Amino acid sequence: MDSRTVGILGGGQLGRMLVEAANKLNIKTVVLDAENSPAKQVSNSTEHLVGSFSNPNDIRKLASKCDILTIEIEHVDVPTLKSLKDEFPKLQISPSPETIELIQDKYKQKEFLIKNKIQVAESVAITNPTEESLQSIGKKFGYPFMLKARTFAYDGRGNFVVKNESSIPEALEALKGSKLYAEKWAPFVKELSVMIVRTLDNRVYAYPVVETIHKNNICHLCYCPAELPNSIRLKAALLAENAIKAFSGAGIFGVEMFLLDNGDILINEIAPRPHNSGHYTIDACVTSQFEAHLRAILNLPIPRSFSKLPTNNTTIMLNLLGDKDVPNGELKICERALQTPGAFVYLYGKESRPGRKVGHINIVSSSMQECQRRLDYITGKSNKPVV
């Protein structure tokens, strides 16, 4: 579909699914990450690079082989990306390094959103992480409040719930060495998420609004469409679109939000890449989030209906985490999914370790009740197979 080569910084599961989408359209990809990383396993190119997305020389090597650079993780070396403009004037970087820079520091991201009149949870930077400074934050925000690492956070690693004044020493110890900020507790009734596509000519399109359920800070389930009054659905989609309009550069973005009981919606955080809450799009939507990302950065056509959930499609995504007790024990869940109509299993080619994201299952059916019935069988909550 396009003769240009797309270089991907990062070769985890998001990179793997990007490569799969690129393969479908015969678009050449080159991956920079460790040997045999999940994305490399699905593409036999000899050009993949063994190295790191945080190493300047490795990034430069990748740039020398590609027409377009993109990311599957935001924790990349931004100063190097910015410096590539001089060395490789024709190279396109999507999303823009400036956007990645703003987003990879969660506090800077918040400041930027506030400047653009987007509602977020009240936050304060911590320059001097002492018990006294956290006590005064506790007085201001009340308890619980969130202590968060500004950078390199994922799957809740980098978050600590400060329940009361006596948990402050433990919080400081847990996040020792990280640049920190504190965030007021958001008493949400639902967590929502929307995938947004931004084109090279700055058009912005939203996928449906989904509800995510987190367990131990890791996304566990994703329901699409989210069960919401239409007014809230529209408000969430509009907020996500407006937030992404404020950033620069093309590609797919994941927008995580908190719905409060008074109907207010706050943005939790934004990911400048494909997102766990968008995996359902592979089987439920006309175009997956991964293909949409490629179409956006390659300036390929994106008809208005690309993000539509075909009539009567409802879907639940279940994340597969490495079993806590039995090595590869999670494969039992996959086996039950394979017995279930409308269930699609994705395994990422990662070594199974307790609690590690190793795959996901999409369940697609004509009603949420039916999706739930199938999920109950897959997870073992019910023993009645769905035929």
Give the binding site for ligand ATP (CB under 6 A).
Answer: 121, 146, 148, 153-159, 183, 185-186, 191, 214, 217, 256, 268-269
Q: Which is nearer to ligand ATP, 43 or 212 (CB)?
A: 212
Q: How far is the CB of 231 from ligand ATP (least distance, A)?
A: 23
Which residue's Cβ lies closest to ligand ATP?
Answer: 186
How is residue 144 annotated by DSSP?
A: S
Q: Which is nearer to ligand ATP, 55 or 217 (CB)?
A: 217
Residue with tokens 């179409």: 295
Residue 163: contacted member of Mg ion, ligand ATP, none (CB under 5 to 8 Å, by partner type): none
Single out the segment in contact with Mg ion by CB under 5 A; choices: 26-34, 72-80, 134-142, 266-274: 266-274
Residue 185: contacted member of Mg ion, ligand ATP, none (CB under 5 to 8 Å, by partner type): ligand ATP
Residue with tokens 């090595």: 327
Single out the segment in contact with Mg ion by CB under 5 A; choices: 48-56, 243-251, 269-277, 359-367: 269-277
Q: How far is the CB of 32 from ligand ATP (least distance, A)?
A: 21
Structure tokens at 94: 């999507």
In the chain the first and final C-alpha atoms are separated, in Å, by: 39
Residue with tokens 């045999």: 36
Q: How far is the CB of 256 from Mg ion (least distance, A)?
A: 5
Q: How far is the CB of 183 from ligand ATP (least distance, A)?
A: 4
Q: How far is the CB of 61 from ligand ATP (least distance, A)?
A: 28
Q: Which is nearer to ligand ATP, 153 or 294 (CB)?
A: 153
Q: How far is the CB of 81 from ligand ATP (least distance, A)?
A: 20
Q: Which is nearer to Mg ion, 66 or 149 (CB)?
A: 149
Single out the segment in contact with Mg ion by CB under 5 A; choices: 158-166, 177-185, 254-262, 335-343: 254-262
| Spatial CA neighbour of 74 closest among 16, 12, 21, 152 | 152
Q: How far is the CB of 203 from Mg ion (least distance, A)?
A: 26
Q: Which is nearer to ligand ATP, 120 or 298 (CB)?
A: 120
Q: Which is nearer to ligand ATP, 337 or 358 (CB)?
A: 358
Q: Which is nearer to ligand ATP, 13 or 268 (CB)?
A: 268
Cis peptide before 89 (omega within 30 of 0): no
Residue 121: contacted member of Mg ion, ligand ATP, none (CB under 5 to 8 Å, by partner type): ligand ATP
Single out the segment in contact with Mg ion by CB under 5 A; choices: 187-195, 256-264, 285-293, 323-331: 256-264
